[in-house]
Amino acid sequence: MTVIQKKSDNPIDHLSAEDVELLGKQLDAIRQSVLDDRGESDARYIRTVIDVHRKLELGSRAVLLASGFPPAWVLGTIGLSVAKILENMEIGHNILHGQWDWMRDPKIHSTTWEWDMASPAAQWKHSHNQLHHTYTNVIGKDNDLGYGIMRVDEDQKWVPAYLLQPVWSFINACFFEYGIAAYDLELGKVIAKGQTKDPEFRRRAKEVLRKIGRQVRKDYVVHPLLSGPNFVPTLAANFVANVVRNLWSNSVILCGHFPEGVETFEKRSIDGETKGEWYVRQMLGSANISGSKAMHLMTGNLSHQIEHHLFPDLPSNRYAEIAPKVKALFEEYGLNYHEAPLPQQVYSAWHKIFRLSLPNGWLDNTTPKNLPSQLVKLWKMSTGSKTTRRQLLQAEAA
Amino acid sequence: MTVMQPSPSSTRPRLTALRDRVLRLAELATTPLLPQDYLDMVDPLRSGAALRGRIEAVHRETRDAATVVIRPGRDWQPHVPGQYVRIGIDVDGVRQWRAYSITSVLGRADGCFTITVKAIPDGKVSNQLVHRTEPGTIVQLDQATGEFVLPRRTPDKALFVTAGSGITPVMGILRNLADDVATDVVLVHSAPTADDVIFGAELRELAATGRIRLVEQHTDTDGMLDAASIAALVPDLAERATWACGPLPMLEALEQYWADAGVADQLYTERFRPAIVAGDGEGGTVTFTENGTTLEADGSTPILDAAEDAGVLMPSGCRMGICFGCVLPLREGAVRDLRTGEVTTAVPGDGVLVQTCVSAAAGACAIDH
C-alpha cells in the first residue's frame, strides 16, 4: 500500500472537481433524509440497547457470584464479555460521538456519558472524534494508523525493530483499552519529547490513572470479593471478559481502516480540502464488515464503517438503512466499496501487519523454496551495517 | 415502657445520609454507571431519584384540552394552588420542557396531581399531551413553583380574569379555596364558545351554588372583552385583588388599565409565553466556550432554542424569562433581550449573566457553558 497520491493507478483520477462536489451534495441529501425522520423509534432503540446491556451485565455478574461452579463461570463470562462489548461499541462509542445528543436526554449525552474503558470519555472524544475522524487515514496526521507504534505504510522506513510488530500488535490487541488510554494521552510523544513534567499532561495522566483505578477495583477487587469463596474464578472471569472485549474491539477497528485496499492519503493533500473531497477520503479510507444483524450490533455498527465515517453523528441504527444508497453512489462514481466478512477483513489486516513488519517486497519474494536464503537475507538486513541494509532493502523492493 | 416515637424530621435526614453512603459503596461495583442507573430501571419514582412522574390517565375536557393525571415521584413536595410545574416529556424522541399550571386539589387520596393542557396549533408538547400520550408514560418533573398564588390571608374580594387555558391556574386556586373562606369571588372568563370553556360544567356549577360569580364571554359570538367592559361588569373592581392569566395583549391591556386607575399593585398576572419583541437583531455566531460548540443563530431565536437544536445540553427553566433557570455568563459579545429589544454587551472578565431563553445573538458572542 502507498498513499493514494503516489499510486500509478490512482482510483480517484477519473473524478473531476464537479463530480466530487456533486457526490458531496448527494451524500448530504442522504444525511438529511435520516435527520428528517429521526425520532421516537430511534430513541426507543438506544434505550432498549442500554436496558439490555444493564440487565445482561448485572445478570452475568450475579451468575459469576457462583463462579466456582464451572457452568456458571462459562455462562457468566460469556454474558459479561457480550455486555462489555455492547457497552463499548454500540452504546459508548456511539453516544460519545454525539449520535444521540438530539434526544436532549442528559443521561444519554456525549457530554455526560462515561464508559467501561480505561480511557476517560473526554480524552477519547478529543483523539477520536476530533483527530481520527477529521484526519482519517492521512499519514502523519491520523494517529489511529498504527497508533504511533506500527509501520502501516511501505513509505515508512523499515527498521529491524518492526520485525516484532506482530507481537506488539497482538499484545496491544489483548490490552487494547490501555493502549487506547496511552494513545489518547499521546504518551509516546510526551515521553519522546521529555514533556512528562508538563502540568497539563500530569493532570490528564492523573485522570486516566483514577479511571483505571476505578475500573480495576470493580473488576478485580469488588466483584471477586462479593463472590466470597469464588474470588479467584470471578477475577479470572473479569480478566477473560476484558481481554475478549479488547480483542473484539481491536479486530473491529482493524477491519475499519487496515485491510488491504483501504487507501491512505498524503498530508499535503488535505490542504484546502472541500467537503466533497473530505467525503471521498472517508469513502476510500474505510472498510465495511458484511454480516448479520447480530454482527452489526456487536460491532457497534462499525461494520458500517464507511457510512459511519461519512456521517459520524447519525444514529448507528440507521447505517444499515442508508448503506445501499451509499453503495449505489460508489458504483455511480466508479469507486470501490470495500466490504467483506469479518474473518476475511481480520485476515487481511493481520496479513498487512506481518507484511509491513518485514522489509518491502520480502514477503512477496518469499516462496517455500527460497525460504532459507530469504531468511539469511533478513538476518543480514537486521544485523548488517546501515549501508548493507540499505543496499539489501533496495534490492528486495525492486 | 415508653416508646419514643422519633419524629420524621429527624429520621429522614439520617436515613437519607445512610442511603447515600450505601449508594456510594455500591458505586464501587457499578462504575462507570451509578447504582441509581440500575435502580431507575426498577423504580423510577423512588425517593432519591431525579424527580419524575408517571402519567396515570388523560381526561378530555374540551375538543382541544385535556387534564393529565400525574403520579409524582416520592420526593415531590406539595404545591401551592396557582403554581405551575415544569414537565419534560419526550416528543418524537426529543425531550421538551414546558410549564403547566397545576389544576388539582391538594392532598388527593391517590397522591397524584393534575395539569390541564390546551393543544395550541403547532404546539409540539401540548398536542402530544392532549392527543397522543399513553398512560404509563414517564415524564421528568421539577418541583412546583410560581408566584401566581393567593396571599397567606385570603382577600375578602377577589377578581379573576382569564382567557382560554388561562383558566388553569385559577381553577387550581378555586378548587382549593377552603369552604369556610368566605371570599367574594368574581371570575370573568373568555373562550371562543361555551363548549370551549375548560372546566365549563364545574365553573357553572360553582356559579349555580353561589360560590362564585361567573361572567362567561364567548368571543366567537360576543367579541373580545376589553378592560373597560370588565370594569363595567365589575363595578367594585378597585376594591378587589385581581389575578389575570391569558394571552399577552389581554394582560398588557389590563396592566395599563389598572395602572391608569392607580391600583396596579392589586393586579397579579401570569404569562404563559415570553413577550417577544419582533427582533430586528442581526444574529451572529454563538460560541459555547466550554463544550466547544459554535453555531449560527438568527436575531429572533432565543439562544437556548438555537443551542438545543444544535445538540447542546442547556440549563433551562420556564422558557419565558421569569425563573432564571437558564442563566449563563456572557463572556463577550452582544445579546438582545427579545422582550425589550435591549442589547447587553460584555467584554472578557465581565461575566454578565444573561437569560438564554429570552436572549438572541446580536452579533458574535461567547457564552461560558
- Cβ–Cβ under 8 Å, residues B94 and A100: no
Chain B interface disruption, residue of A104, A119, A211, most B CBs within 10 A:
A104
Task: Find the angle CA(A106)-CA(A110)-CA(A111) to the nearest 5 degrees.
Answer: 70
A256 to chain B, closest Cα gap in Å: 27
B contacts of A217 (beta carbons < 8 Å): 28, 31
Nearest CA in chain B to A84: B32
Q: Which residues contact A265 (CB under 8 A, 6 or more apart)?
A: A3, A4, A5, A137, A138, A139, A281, A285
B37 to chain A, closest Cα gap in Å: 9
Q: What local confidence, expressed as pLDDT, does residue A91 receive?
A: 98
DSSP letters of A363-374?
HHH--TTTHHHH
Q: What local confidence, expressed as pLDDT, does residue B10 receive?
A: 58
* ipTM, interface predicted TM-score of the complex: 0.90
A129 phi and psi, to 5 degrees? -70, -40
Q: Check pLDDT > 70 for residue A131.
A: yes
Using the beta-carbon criterion (under 8 Å), do A40 and B33 form an inter-chain contact? no
- Strand intervals (E) in chain A: 288-290, 339-341
Q: Which residues contact A152 (CB under 8 A, 6 or more apart)?
A: A139, A145, A146, A258, A264, A352, A356
**Is residue B8 very low, low, confident or very high in pLDDT (cuts 50, 70, 90)?**
very low
Strand, helix or coil for residue B62: strand
Tens-place pLDDT, residues A359-381:
999 999 999 999 999 999 999 99
Is A51 in the B-facing interface, judged by CB distances under 8 Å?
yes
B313 to chain A, closest Cα gap in Å: 6
Strands, sheet with B52-62, edge to edge from the N-terminal-most edge strand: B94-101, B84-91, B138-141, B52-62, B65-72, B113-118
Using the beta-carbon criterion (under 8 Å), do A104 and B95 form an inter-chain contact? yes
Q: Check pLDDT > 70 for residue B272.
A: no
Is A125 in the B-facing interface, judged by CB distances under 8 Å?
no
Using the beta-carbon criterion (under 8 Å), do A58 and B38 form an inter-chain contact? yes
Nearest of A320, A118, A127, A367 to residue A218 by alpha carbon: A118
Strands B284-288 and A339-341: unpaired
- Burial (CB count within 10 angstroms: exposed 0-12, middle 13-18, buried 19+), residue B25: exposed
Q: Which residue has the higher pLDDT, B181 or A389?
A: A389
Q: Which residues contact B104 (CB under 8 A, 6 or more apart)?
A: B112, B113, B114, B172, B175
Using the beta-carbon criterion (under 8 Å), do B93 and A102 form an inter-chain contact? yes
d(CA B345, CA B351): 10
- Interchain CB contacts (distance < 8 Å): A and B: 63
Strand, helix or coil for residue A31: helix
A63 to chain B, closest Cα gap in Å: 15
Among residues 248-287 of chain A, which lie with CB inside 8 Å of chain B? none
**Is residue A129 very low, low, confident or very high in pLDDT (cuts 50, 70, 90)?**
confident
Q: Which residue has the higher pLDDT, A190 or A4?
A: A190
- Burial (CB count within 10 angstroms: exposed 0-12, middle 13-18, buried 19+), residue A167: exposed
Per-residue buried b or exposed e for A339-355, using 16+ beta carbons within 10 Å of the residue's own CB: bbebeebbebbbebbeb
Beta bridge partners of B52: B140
Is A210 in the B-facing interface, judged by CB distances under 8 Å?
no
Using the beta-carbon criterion (under 8 Å), do B90 and A103 form an inter-chain contact? yes
Nearest CA in chain B to A122: B291
C-alpha cell at B333: 459579545
Stretch B216-239: mean pLDDT: 93
Nearest CA in chain A to B314: A104
- Cβ–Cβ under 8 Å, residues B306 and B358: no
Q: What local confidence, expressed as pLDDT, does residue A144 receive?
A: 67
Is B29 in the A-facing interface, judged by CB distances under 8 Å?
yes
Tens-place pLDDT, residues B18-54:
999 999 999 999 999 999 999 999 999 999 999 999 9
